Amino acid sequence: MFCNVLITSVAGGIVCLDRISLQVMISRPVVAGPAIGLLLHDPLTGLLCGALLELLWIDRLPIGTYVPPNDTVATVVITAAAILAGDRMGIHSRELAVFCILLFFPLGYAARFMDTLIIRFNDRLSRDAVAAAERGDIQGVSGRHLLGMARSFAATVLFIFIFLYPGVLLAAWVFPLLPQYFRKALTLCYYFLPLLGVAVAIRTVKRRGMVGFFCAVFVAVLVIMEFAHELAK
């Protein structure tokens, strides 16, 4: 498990670079989830977790100086924890995936605090890069950009590793102890979370006809999750 956690942490760090430099949308939960799932040989669980988290955080955009919750880190940890804990217990279920979402969802806000600290630490690098550009020092500019990316990558990898390893052990220990009524509640949450996500998504738009569109998205997500659940049996 240690190797899987380490590989996942490095992969998560690479995916999170898309938030600050690449920006080709691979950091979105609906992409990052299946990607991590594919890395851990369970893309269906990754799709389930990624689709749910995409809807829940679709209205949190990095506009202006606002630093949104790090949904990418949360997706990586939740997806990997659900898969690795399932492997450890020999049980893969939608209830386990929902349990991991509820357990590790706050990590998105904890990672936002980490992002804020990185931005502050990189402010000096930005000023140094501007000074290097004024001197015509192209290598100095690129070097400071690469140093900023390296800081973000290292911090993200460390953050994911610190929370993922004990998180897998915690999920694998707690989930089998849950009473039956709690598992039934997790099943209900499995159907409720897409509806909540659609409600969040509807708040982001004002155009006519978008309510029907997002209702269709809700149905599509639910069908996809059910299909993934049936394939996983």
Q: pLDDT (tens digit, 9 = 90+) per residue, 110-164?
A: 999 998 888 888 777 777 777 777 777 777 767 777 777 888 899 999 999 999 9
Question: Domain count of the chain?
Answer: 1
Residue 211 confidence (pLDDT) above 60: no
DSSP string, 13-55: HHHHGGGTTT-SSTTSHHHHHHHHHHHTT-HHHHHHHHHHHHH
User: CA-CA-CA-CA torsion for 184, 186, 191, 193, nearest 10 degrees?
Assistant: 160
**What range defines the domain where residue 25 resides?**
2-232
Q: The pTM is what?
A: 0.83
